[in-house]
Amino acid sequence: MDTRKKKLTVNTAMCDMTRLTEESLSAYEAIEINAATIALSPRAKELASRLSLTMNAAQIIQVEEGTQISIKNGKAEITGNEAPASPTMLIVNGKLIIHPDSAEALKGYASISVNGKLLYPRSLGPLLNRVQVQGLSMSYPDDAILVEGRLRVDELFVLRAKGSLYFVMGDLVMADESLDIKPLAEKRTRFSVKNAYIAQKHLKDALPLFDDKTHITTIPEGFRFVEEENTLSAHMISRFGKHLFFPGKLTIPRDQENALRQLEGLQVAGSIKLPETLLDTLIALDPQYHKLITYKGLLVTDKSSLTISQALIAQNPEGLTVEDCGVVTLDADISAQEILDKLTIRDCGTILCQPDQEMALIQIADDVGSITVANADESTQPENKEDSNHEKINTAYYQF
């Protein structure tokens, strides 16, 4: 019977060591903790210093004994009505919005950690010394009305708008040419927003509603603002018309040449992605865009795993473009020359291949995490056998 003490490795996003005891540690010969955040109480810190314990963390936070840990994923808010009953360490993976009436509530938090975006009123900035942000931190005027996401200024908004400042977290769209926006100025409505898309017809009346920090993009007269879809189709043209404006990106599939030829005007604030065979047709339209991305043959995107077979290559003589996929596996019977002639792989995680495919993949792959040879010499591969005396724990949250 093996009486040796085990080694423990914990891989986690959050490790709560505030209730660490000598008994919980004595069962292990050594402990290794790999975490984004580790929370320690003074007593736990003293215990950890006396034992064989290794901590690798982006941040180590010390809190008082009895502190509660609260983890929020997605969106969280702090208001004056929701002060914690006991000292709390708050961890937000996503977006945290702090409201202007929250000064007393903030005192109930031992610490706040935000992995994502923090939005807070400017008056409370001096009280946020216990807030750590991995991501974006943004302040807003205390008297502003917060608007999450994109704000579309339509007839209903104009009727209901208040004479206040609207702080818009996303973009603002004022695209309806038939809209009367003059009441907004009469009410003294104002907007604080990073990007605004405004119909050319409204530009003169709209400018006083924004400060100089707003980047304004005008929508030409006669163009329809398209935000619901980003893939060109005949249905899109029948719905929106032949003059289209896209605030983000546009993808043109290889089977939509007829739809592309129907267009009479095209503006894309982001990128246009289309097959090489349609490039001349697009250029003839004289579009405006930020970036042009071409691909060859069939476009395959957003797959967690994908196997490229010889049959798939044969079915697409013009080629195959693979983007934004997690793990891409190549069948062994695909030759290096076929890879060079037929394949484009970009923005993918891992490519699994055979030894005779590796050099060709290095030449055609763009921005991939790794190219792994499937049957490489075993001595170069990671050890797969689990040490019976080594306990490993992988979890989002771990508490001792």
Contacts for 156 with CB less than 8 Å, ≥ 6 apart: none
Give the model confidence (pLDDT) of 121-158 as tens digits.
Answer: 999 998 888 888 888 898 999 999 999 889 999 999 99
Note every long-range contact of 32-36, with CB atoms under 8 Å and residues 24 or more positions apart, other chains counting.
Answer: 32/7, 32/8, 32/56, 33/9, 33/57, 34/9, 34/10, 35/10, 35/11, 35/398, 36/12, 36/115
- The CA distance from 267 to 204, in Å, is 21
- Residue 144 is given by DSSP the state P
Could you count the other beta carbons within 10 Å of the beta carbon of residue 20? Answer: 22
Cβ(348)–Cβ(326) below 8 Å: yes
Full-model pTM: 0.69
pLDDT over threshold 90, residue 66: no
Q: Which amino acid is at 396?
A: A
Report pLDDT for 205: 95
Contacts for 55 with CB less than 8 Å, ≥ 6 apart: 33, 35, 38, 48
3-state DSSP call for residue 375?
Answer: coil
Report pLDDT for 70: 86
Give the model confidence (pLDDT) of 187-237 as tens digits.
Answer: 999 999 999 999 999 999 999 999 999 999 999 999 999 988 899 999 999
User: Given pLDDT bands bounded at 50, 70 and 90, which one contains residue 3?
Assistant: low
pLDDT over threshold 50, residue 257: yes
Among 30-34, 84-88, 240-244, the range with the most confident prediction by mean pLDDT is 240-244
In degrees to the nearest 10, what's the CA dihedral of 272, 276, 278, 284? 70
Structure tokens that stand for 138 in this block: 């943004």
Percent of the chain with pLDDT strictly greater than 70: 95
pLDDT over threshold 90, residue 289: yes
Q: What is the largest CA-CA distance in the chain?
A: 85
pLDDT over threshold 70, residue 385: no
